[in-house]
Amino acid sequence: MSFRKEPPFVHGTTPKTAVVLVNLGTPDAPTSSAVRRYLKEFLSDTRVVEIPRAIWWLILHLIILPFRSGKSAQKYAAIWTNEGSPLKVHTEKQATLLRGYLGHRGHKVQVVYAMRYGNPSVSSVLDQLKTDGCDRVLIVPAYPQYSATTTASIFDAVFSHFAAVRNVPELRLIKHYHDHRAYIEALKESVLAHWSMNGMPDKLVMSFHGVPKRTLLLGDPYHCECYKTARLLAHALDLSQEQYMVTFQSRFGKAEWLQPYTAPTLEKLAKQGVARVDVMCPGFTSDCLETLEEIGMEAKADFLKAGGKEFYLIPCLNESVDWIKGLSTVVEEQLIGWPTLLSPSDVAEQKLQEKVQKEEAMRVGATV
């Protein structure tokens, strides 16, 4: 077995701690070629597609990649920003803010982000952390609800990387936080903030990403964790069962997926006379193609065409203060036992840096 090239071990060095926020991924650009590369990596994952390899290889390379890449690129182009892919932009900002918030709480940790598919890859980020001297690594999936198709795939990438590493760091992985009080509280505050500006809807629809129904029958807890999140959030918002519902989006292929499906459900609600719906996607912590385009554009158009009057997409948690605070709480609980607290000298240095930054900000502001 050949091992990955890594920096030599140096005696007497103080090991560092790192937190890696891992999201699904995104193409590098809203172009057909970039989307094709991304889809090839994503749809080649056996965790994502459990069809026999030989059959799936033919379907993927002869049908999906040639015909779907261009259409998907057009959808990405519709939501692309000047900063780049929304999912990548939000994930990067979350990591930056998480680093600052943990530092403010007294933790000396390195916080970075990675993508399961696309860039920066999990492996490249772990390589860099090794070079930086990090010997304790906490993996934080951006998925609150566990699924073998998402969270377990991240774990696969991590374990695969370290299978070829000689000096493996101490490793911790967060499986899920679908029912964590801090996550539910952040969701609640995001909904209340939206309602304070726009009023309440006739129906709140909580749309989660779908997975094939067979995964539930084979023991995947994702379905149950989605419903638990919805139940806890509804309770926090003091909603009755008639005021909200759970649906599943992004169905792919002809097999049965978790139901009810989001798009047909929204059309049905409109035809039943429901004038206004608010849709939120609690399973996504960052806005992305599935929230902004699939729900915010396609589902909205279908609802209004079917007779609905008002449609609101409640943004994902993104960089909201409540979510960064909540994510910090989730991470802090997993850091217990690791020596991450700042020393007195670290605290003094941090205060000095904050003072310098504040004075610089005031100076720049005075010259504008």
Residue 214 sits at φ, ψ, to 5 deg, of -60, -25
Q: Is 290 marked within a binding site?
A: yes
Spell out the SS3 assignment of the chain: CCCCCCCCCCCCCCCEEEEEEEEEECCCCCCHHHHHHHHHHHHCCCCCCCCCHHHHHHHHHHHHHHHHHHHHHHHHHHHCECCECHHHHHHHHHHHHHHHHHHHCCECCEEEEEEEECCCEHHHHHHHHHHCCEEEEEEEECCCCCCCCCHHHHHHHHHHHHCCCCCCCEEEECCCCCCCHHHHHHHHHHHHHHHHHHCCCCEEEEEEECCEHHHHHCCCCHHHHHHHHHHHHHHHCCCCHHHEEEEEECCCCCCCECCCEHHHHHHHHHHCCCCEEEEECCCCCCCCHHHHHHHHHHHHHHHHHCCCCEEEECCCCCCCHHHHHHHHHHHHHHHCCCCCECCHHHHHHHHHHHHHHHHHHHHHHHHC
**How far, in Å, CA of 17 to CA of 157, rounded?**
20
The residue among 25, 54, 49 whose CA lies nearest residue 37 is 25
The distance in angstroms from the start CA to the end CA of the chain is 60
Cβ-contact 139, 176 below 8 angstroms = no
**How far, in Å, CA of 193 to CA of 197, rounded?**
7
Q: Is 107 marked within a binding site?
A: no
- In the block, residue with structure tokens 């994503």: 42
Sheet (strand 310-313) strand order:
244-249, 203-209, 276-280, 310-313
Which residues carry a binding-site annotation for Fe(2+)? 209, 290
Which residues carry a binding-site annotation? 209, 290
